[in-house]
Amino acid sequence: MKIGFDHVKYLEEQSKYILERVNNYDKLYLEFGGKLLFDLHAKRVLPGFDENAKIKLLHKLRDKAEIIICVYAGDIERNKIRGDFGITYDIDVLRLIDDLRSYDLDVNSVVITRYSGQPAASIFINKLERRGIKVYKHSKTKGYPTDVDTIVSDEGYGKNPYIETTKPIVVVTAPGPGSGKLATCLSQLYHEYKNGKVAGYSKFETFPVWNVPLKHPLNIAYEAATADLKDVNMIDSFHFDYYNKVAINYNRDIESFPVLKRIIEKISGEESEYKSPTDMGVNRVGFGIIDDEVVKEASKAEIIRRYFKTACEYKKGDVDKETFERVSLIMNELSLKEEDRKVVVKAREKAKKVKEQKDTNETVRAIALETEDGNIFTGKATEIMDETSAVVLNAVKHYANIDHEIHLISPLILEPIRCLKKENLAYKKAALNCEEILMALSICAATNPMAQVALSKLKNLKGAQAHSTTIISNNNEQTFRKLGIDITCDPEYPTENLYY
């Protein structure tokens, strides 16, 4: 993989900049946008970026930082899903707490925002409290967003309970957007000033990158990634007017800045040091770019990947037509085509070949996988295993120098698993998915040296690109993610069944 980003330089620059900002206050409330862990988007568009860079940064600052996690009560109530993990936001909060603790970071509490007695949120509060996690309930802020006098009063932010913190940096994070991080920060600022302390607010948002051009593919890839939020990158007019310098931000931050500035000034009782929404940020990611061409190509590849993802979400009914059309326009803006993703062509060629051999018009489940060294492998679904399993086995056989005709997994292992699925677990179809095939391969590896060698070659698939001619299951998608494979799918269901 070509490297376009210096991760070490970025961490040094970012931690230094945050500490400089902290020196201005008794306490700094730092709103973390985007993913705190497993920031796969940043990893893909900035080759060389560590997907866990943010949490490693916090680990360096652990003696000075503690964490507050926000989650919107409405998201818990409607079981909102975090797409990359396939888990609900409430479960993701539990995962996040465990991950933060594994990095020796102090989790102060969980804030349930805009809480109004939602039953599912109340159950979640009970779960947290019975595990010893402090929980605070914040209601909707009266007067928000226009009535600043009411917002900054005992009827507004004053109604929220004060969260006791002990460290100079308080990181406020969440499972996803719209979780109430900003309101929580401002509520805390109100209470801090009321208690006679000087507190500050800053935002740590990786994208859009403020010191990269507006139409740079890196910033356009962010628009593709947030098409469902209707985010649009813009030149920060406040920054340009005050400094006569171009800086990039996005519409929501620019639109809300005048009100946000007034709220902060009302809380502090003095003029804000921030002249623009860009001033509020502490993002130094642009200074870590060391090869702009590599970043541009990676960003274009990500836009195509987002296009396929959005097309599948539209097919499933998870996003509206406007969202899909928006990503399609972004593709056209950069003159990108589906076929620019090499594995798309190979997967479709495989499906066409299988159709011709079978002389059928039925949907063919075929897949292509390209590893980082340029090798491309294909696979198709059979009665024994699905297409994801087939392509992974074909790839590891190649790297283990095992003939394609040799069976790595004994029928003595496969048949009992298939029998269990069909007869005991009542699966309609007994074909094994990728995770099941890998487990079967690991069992065979205990007695079969060839299977052991093949299993050891799974590391060669990290960073691979794949494409399927049909929508794959959530289980297979998560298995590919764990293997480090980025997969896209054509927006076609493998069968006409609605459930099975």
Helix extents (H) in 317-405: 321-333, 342-358, 387-399
- What is the helix, strand, coil percentage profile of the chain, to 5? 50, 15, 35
DSSP code of residue 498: S
pLDDT band at 33 (very low <50, low <70, confident <90, very high): confident
How many residues are present in the chain? 500
Q: Determine the pLDDT at residue 294.
A: 98
- Is 55 domain-assigned? yes
201: which residues sit within 8 A by CB, 6+ positions away? 28, 29, 31, 185, 186, 189, 264, 280
Claim to verify: residue 118 and residue 189 sit in the same structural domain: yes
Which residue is associated with the tokens 């004053």? 158
pLDDT band at 103 (very low <50, low <70, confident <90, very high): very high
User: What average pLDDT does range 123-150 have in this prediction?
Assistant: 95
Rounded Cα–Cα distance for residues 74 and 13 (Å): 37
User: What average pLDDT does range 261-290 have in this prediction?
Assistant: 95
- Is 137 domain-assigned? yes
pLDDT band at 331 (very low <50, low <70, confident <90, very high): very high
pLDDT band at 183 (very low <50, low <70, confident <90, very high): very high
Claim to verify: residue 260 and residue 409 sit in the same structural domain: no
Q: Determine the pLDDT at residue 429.
A: 81
Contact present, 202 and 279 (Cβ < 8 Å):
no
500 has pLDDT over 70? no
Task: Give, in order, the Cα–Cα distances in Å from 17 to each of 7, 68, 290.
Answer: 15, 21, 19
Rounded Cα–Cα distance for residues 51 and 286 (Å): 16
Q: Determine the pLDDT at residue 411.
A: 84
Q: Determine the pLDDT at residue 231.
A: 87
252 CB neighbour count, 10 Å cutoff? 16
Q: How far, rounded to the nearest angstrom, does the alpha carbon of residue 442 sit from its chain's CA centroid?
A: 30
Rounded Cα–Cα distance for residues 439 and 448 (Å): 14
Claim to verify: residue 279 and residue 413 sit in the same structural domain: no
- Is 302 domain-assigned? no
- Is 418 domain-assigned? yes
- Is 20 domain-assigned? yes
pTM for this entry: 0.92
Claim to verify: residue 101 and residue 170 sit in the same structural domain: yes
Claim to verify: residue 258 and residue 387 sit in the same structural domain: no
DSSP code of residue 407: -
Q: Is the torsion defined by CA of 286, 289, 292, 293 positive or negative?
A: negative
8 has pLDDT over 70? yes
CATH code, domain with 429: 3.40.140.40
pLDDT band at 426 (very low <50, low <70, confident <90, very high): confident
Claim to verify: residue 250 and residue 109 sit in the same structural domain: yes
Q: Which domain holds residue 352?
A: 348-489
- Is 228 domain-assigned? no
Rounded Cα–Cα distance for residues 166 and 362 (Å): 63
Rounded Cα–Cα distance for residues 139 and 70 (Å): 13
Contact present, 172 and 184 (Cβ < 8 Å):
yes
Exposure of 341 in the CB half-sphere (CA atoms within 13 A): 30
Rounded Cα–Cα distance for residues 37 and 340 (Å): 30
Claim to verify: residue 73 and residue 182 sit in the same structural domain: yes
175: its two tokens:
């499972």
Q: How far, rounded to the nearest angstrom, does the alpha carbon of residue 264 sit from its chain's CA centroid?
A: 30
Number of structural domains in the chain: 2
Residue 441, Cβ density class (10 Å: 0-12 exposed, 13-18 middle, ≥19 buried) = buried
pLDDT over 90, % of the chain: 85
Q: Determine the pLDDT at residue 358.
A: 84
489 has pLDDT over 80? yes
User: What average pLDDT does range 226-236 have in this prediction?
Assistant: 92
Q: Determine the pLDDT at residue 177.
A: 87
CATH code, domain with 206: 3.10.630.10
Rounded (5°) CA angle 430-431-434: 130
**Which residue, 170, 181, 184, 74, is CA-closest to 138?**
184
Claim to verify: residue 270 and residue 371 sit in the same structural domain: no
pLDDT over 70, % of the chain: 100
Claim to verify: residue 141 and residue 284 sit in the same structural domain: yes
Rounded Cα–Cα distance for residues 231 and 94 (Å): 28
Chain-wide mean pLDDT for the chain?
A: 94
Rounded Cα–Cα distance for residues 453 and 439 (Å): 15
Q: Determine the pLDDT at residue 459.
A: 96
Q: Determine the pLDDT at residue 107.
A: 97
DSSP code of residue 445: T
Claim to verify: residue 114 and residue 251 sit in the same structural domain: yes
Least confident of 42-51, 356-365, 463-472: 356-365
Question: 359-406: per-residue pLDDT in tens?
Answer: 878 889 999 999 999 999 999 999 899 999 999 999 999 999 999 889
Contact present, 412 and 405 (Cβ < 8 Å):
no
Claim to verify: residue 260 and residue 384 sit in the same structural domain: no
- Is 84 domain-assigned? yes
pLDDT band at 288 (very low <50, low <70, confident <90, very high): very high
- Is 470 domain-assigned? yes
Claim to verify: residue 409 and residue 262 sit in the same structural domain: no
Task: Give, in order, the Cα–Cα distances in Å from 136 to each of 160, 216, 258, 373.
Answer: 8, 41, 28, 50
